[in-house]
Amino acid sequence: MAAEELADLAALLADRTRVRFLLSLLDGRAWTTGELAAAAGVAPSTASEHLSRLVDGGLLVRRAQGRHRYVQLAGPDQAGLLEHLLAHLGPTGPERPTLRAATADEALRRGRTCYDHLAGRLGVAVADAMTGRGLLTPDLAVTDAGRAWLDDLGFTPPARRPPARACLDWTERRSHLAGAAGAYLCAHFHERGWVRRVGTGRAVRLTPSGRTALAGLLGLGPGLS
């Protein structure tokens, strides 16, 4: 049974269009079929067929909002799987990337969302700072001091999700913080305007107020972008 399920998963990931959809959805947002079709450069009918396979395979879920229909990653486990697979790839990209592609790639490496938590150099720097201050263990489990620190920020751990786990970062090749605590910090930073999206993708950057806040909260240096 395990062999068959693994083979089925591999088959789902063996198509470039389906993988493009999955990578687009790593920003944690819900997308329409038309939006994903445009992003992947395929016809809506083709996109609909591929999305049905991904939903049936458990990687995506459908959501309805009024007359609109969306698809979204099924959850953080599916996002973590994609991020781990990306981390095992070697250097990729065209031999002579365009300036636009190189700029977009650098923005993702500097900071991005991995489903619902922070990744890239920003995400790893936050995890490192929390570890250095004794808020996380070296394997990114929350310590007693970390629980008190998160409680001061208003975090309430959910019953059905691990409070924290390490997620291997595909650009930094080190771990950033996932789990409920990682998701809460990402949302907390966004709500306070400490991080903002760059364009319409999943790249994010620290704002000036964010640099000041994280210097006070975690001792992160002003050079972090």
38 and 122 assigned to the same domain: no
H or E segment to which residue 123 belongs:
helix 120-132
Query: Residue 34 corresponds to which tokens in the numbers above?
Result: 């038309």
Whether residue 122 is contained in a domain is answered as yes
Whether residue 70 is contained in a domain is answered as yes
pLDDT at 182: 96
Among the ranges given (7-11, 59-63, 86-90, 213-217), the one the predictor scored with the smallest mean pLDDT: 86-90
Whether residue 209 is contained in a domain is answered as yes
The DSSP secondary structure of 43-68, one letter per residue, reads -HHHHHHHHHHHHHTTSEEEEEETTE
pLDDT, tens digit (0-9, with 9 covering 90-100), for 120-140 = 999 999 999 999 999 999 999
pLDDT, tens digit (0-9, with 9 covering 90-100), for 18-57 = 999 998 888 777 889 998 999 889 999 999 999 999 999 9
Question: What is the domain extent for residue 35?
Answer: 2-74
pLDDT, tens digit (0-9, with 9 covering 90-100), for 90-126 = 555 545 555 455 556 788 889 999 889 999 999 999 9
Whether residue 86 is contained in a domain is answered as no
Read off the CATH number of the domain in which 59 is found: 1.10.10.10
Residue holding tokens 């250095």? 132
Does residue 151 or residue 77 have the better pLDDT? 151
Q: Which amino acid is at 102?
A: A
Residue holding tokens 């966004």? 190
105 and 212 assigned to the same domain: yes
Whether residue 223 is contained in a domain is answered as no
| Strand ranges for 137-174 from DSSP E | 165-168
Does residue 62 or residue 202 have the better pLDDT? 62
Total Cβ atoms within 10 A of residue 126: 26
Whether residue 83 is contained in a domain is answered as no
> Are 143 and 151 spatial neighbours (Cβ–Cβ below 8 Å)?
no
Q: What is the distance between the alpha carbons of residues 175 and 177, in angstroms, rounded to a whole number?
A: 7
Domain total of the chain: 2
7 and 116 assigned to the same domain: no
61 and 137 assigned to the same domain: no
